[in-house]
C-alpha cells in the first residue's frame, strides 16, 4: 500500500500542471481604436499571442501588444506579450494590446482597404488570444469587444472611389456612343449586325472597380464581421452576373424591337463565362488568366456547335455556385443571392434560345 502511495505521488509530480488562466479586456472601444487593455490572471511562466480577429487569422507580430504591469509592478522597458513572464499565484498581468495593428491586418485579410476599417464599427467583434505555458501547453481564449461608431457615409468618397465613379460614367458614355454609331453605320450600309461580344467583355471588366467600391457598405449592412471574408468573395463572384444578365436583357429588348430576335439562337453569353471571374475570389493574382479565359470563351461561343455545348455546360453553373458558397462560407444572404443570380442567368439564356423565332419577322412565342 505504501509503495502504491509513493508511486502515485511520483506520477502526480511528473504530470505537468497548468493553472487555469483568464483574460478580461475592455468591452467597448472608440470608433478608431488604438489601444486596448487586458488583464491576464494565472500562475507560472506565460506568454501571449494574438492569433485572430473575427475569425480571421492574423500574423503574430510582437507589435500587437506589450506587458505593462506584472505582479502589480510596471514593466520597464515594455516587453512584447510574446515574451514570457512569471506570474505568482493569484496574480495579474496587464497587457496593452495595439488593437489598431490587429484591425489593419484583419481588414487586409478580408481584402478591403485600411480606410474601410469602419466596417467593424457599431458591431460585436471577437479577438482571439493564445496563452502559451512554459511546458508548451496552449490555451485559446476569445474575447468579445464592441467597437463604437457608424459606417462612413457613401457621400464621403475617397479619391480612389471618386476616380472610379468618373471612370464608370465616361466608360458607359463611350459604350453608348460606340453602340449607337455602330448601329447607324450598319443601317446605312444595309448590313445586319449581331450582339457585340466585345461590349459584354468590356462592361464586365469595367464594372469590377465600381462594384468593389461599394462592397464595404454591402458587407456592413448585409453581413457580419465574422463572415466578411466569405461575404466579399461571394460578392466578387456575383459581379459578372450583375453585369452580363442586365446587358443580355438590354440586347434582347433591342433586337426584339428590330425584329431580329433569331440572332439569339447563338446567344452572346452561354452561362459559363461568369465562372472564369470566380478565380479572382481565390486569388487576385489570377487576373491575367481570368481575362485570357474570359476572352477565349466569348470567341469560342461564336461557333454554333461550341455555343450549344457551352450552354449545356452552363446548366451545371448552380453546382459551382454552391461549391463557392461551401468553400468561402459567408452570410446566408450572400450565398442565396449568388445561387439565385446564377439560376436566373442560366435560365434566362436558355429560355430566350428556346423561345426566339427561327427566321426574321416571326413573333416571339
User: Do residues 141 and 167 share a domain?
Assistant: no
Confidence bin at 360 (pLDDT 50/70/90): low
Cα separation, 338 vs 108, whole angstroms: 24
Cα separation, 35 vs 276, whole angstroms: 42
- How many CA atoms lie within 13 Å of 312's alpha carbon, on the beta-carbon side? 6
How large is the average pLDDT for residues 343-347? 96
The residues facing 97 across adjacent strands are 36, 65
Predicted pLDDT at 262: 85
Lowest mean pLDDT among 17-21, 117-121, 269-273: 17-21
Separation of CA 37 from chain center: 30
Cα separation, 80 vs 26, whole angstroms: 19
Phi/psi class of residue 90: alpha, beta or left (left: φ > 0; alpha: ψ in -120 to 50)? left
How much of the chain, in percent, has pLDDT values that exceed 70? Answer: 81
User: Do residues 83 and 186 share a domain?
Assistant: no
Three-class secondary structure of residue 143 per DSSP? strand
User: Do residues 180 and 297 share a domain?
Assistant: yes
Cα separation, 284 vs 300, whole angstroms: 25
Predicted pLDDT at 210: 83
User: Do residues 142 and 165 share a domain?
Assistant: no
Q: Which domain holds residue 52?
A: 16-147
Cα separation, 152 vs 161, whole angstroms: 13
The reply to whether 5 falls in a domain is no
User: Do residues 38 and 97 share a domain?
Assistant: yes
**H helices present in the chain, as ranges:** 2-14, 99-110, 159-188, 197-213, 215-222, 228-257, 273-277, 279-282, 287-300, 304-314, 317-328, 332-355
Predicted pLDDT at 287: 87
Which has the closest alpha carbon to 277: 327, 231, 233?
233
User: Do residues 113 and 181 share a domain?
Assistant: no
Q: Which residues of 190-199 are buried (b: 16+ CB within 10 A; e: fewer)?
A: eeebebbbeb
Lowest mean pLDDT among 59-63, 66-70, 87-91, 187-191: 187-191
User: Do residues 189 and 329 share a domain?
Assistant: yes
Predicted pLDDT at 198: 84
User: Do residues 73 and 183 share a domain?
Assistant: no
User: Do residues 132 and 209 share a domain?
Assistant: no
CA dihedral 151, 152, 154, 159 (to 10 degrees): -150
Overall domain count for the chain: 2
The reply to whether 310 falls in a domain is yes
User: Do residues 80 and 209 share a domain?
Assistant: no
The sign of the dihedral angle between the CA atoms of 315, 242, 258, 170 is: negative
Cα separation, 128 vs 122, whole angstroms: 19
Highest-confidence range of 19-23, 57-61, 84-88, 323-327, by mean pLDDT?
A: 323-327
Q: Angle at the Cα of 72 (from 66 to 73), degrees rounded to 5?
A: 65
What value does the mean pLDDT of the chain take? 84
The reply to whether 10 falls in a domain is no
The reply to whether 362 falls in a domain is no
pTM for this predicted structure: 0.82
Say whether pLDDT at 361 is over 70. Answer: no
Amino acid at each position: 500500500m505504501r509503495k502504491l502511495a509513493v508511486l502515485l505521488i511520483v506520477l502526480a509530480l511528473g504530470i505537468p500542471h497548468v493553472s487555469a488562466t483568464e483574460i478580461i479586456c475592455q468591452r467597448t472601444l472608440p470608433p478608431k481604436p488604438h489601444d486596448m487593455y487586458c488583464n491576464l490572471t494565472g500562475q507560472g511562466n506565460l506568454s501571449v499571442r494574438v492569433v485572430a480577429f473575427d475569425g480571421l487569422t492574423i500574423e503574430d507580430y510582437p507589435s500587437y501588444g506589450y506587458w505593462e504591469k506584472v505582479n502589480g509592478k510596471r514593466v520597464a522597458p515594455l516587453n512584447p506579450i510574446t515574451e514570457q513572464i512569471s506570474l505568482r499565484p493569484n496574480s495579474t498581468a496587464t497587457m496593452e494590446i495595439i488593437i489598431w495593428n490587429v484591425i489593419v491586418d484583419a481588414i487586409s485579410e478580408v481584402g478591403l482597404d485600411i480606410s474601410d476599417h469602419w466596417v467593424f464599427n457599431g458591431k460585436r467583434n471577437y479577438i482571439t488570444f493564445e496563452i502559451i505555458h512554459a511546458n508548451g501547453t496552449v490555451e485559446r481564449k476569445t474575447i468579445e469587444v464592441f467597437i463604437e461608431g457608424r459606417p462612413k457615409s457613401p457621400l464621403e468618397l475617397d479619391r480612389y472611389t471618386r476616380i472610379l465613379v468618373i471612370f464608370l460614367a465616361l466608360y458607359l458614355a463611350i459604350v453608348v456612343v460606340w453602340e449607337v454609331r455602330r448601329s447607324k453605320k450598319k443601317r446605312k450600309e444595309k448590313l445586319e449586325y449581331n450582339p457585340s461580344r466585345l461590349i459584354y467583355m468590356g462592361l464586365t471588366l469595367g464594372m469590377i472597380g465600381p462594384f468593389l467600391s461599394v462592397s464595404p457598405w454591402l458587407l456592413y449592412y448585409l453581413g457580419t464581421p465574422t463572415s466578411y471574408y466569405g461575404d466579399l468573395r461571394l460578392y466578387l463572384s456575383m459581379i459578372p452576373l450583375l453585369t452580363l444578365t442586365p446587358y443580355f436583357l438590354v440586347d434582347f429588348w433591342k433586337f426584339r424591337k428590330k425584329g431580329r430576335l433569331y440572332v439569339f439562337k447563338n446567344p452572346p453569353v452561354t452561362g459559363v463565362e461568369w465562372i472564369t471571374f470566380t478565380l479572382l475570389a481565390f486569388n487576385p493574382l489570377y487576373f491575367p488568366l481570368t481575362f485570357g479565359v474570359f476572352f477565349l470563351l466569348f470567341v469560342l461561343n461564336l461557333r454554333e456547335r461550341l455555343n450549344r455545348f457551352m450552354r449545356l455546360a452552363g446548366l451545371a453553373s448552380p453546382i459551382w455556385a454552391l461549391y463557392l458558397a461551401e468553400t468561402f462560407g459567408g452570410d446566408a444572404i450572400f450565398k442565396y443571392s449568388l445561387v439565385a443570380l446564377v439560376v436566373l442567368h442560366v435560365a434566362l439564356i436558355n429560355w430566350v434560345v428556346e423561345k426566339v423565332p427561327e427566321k426574321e419577322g416571326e413573333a416571339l412565342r
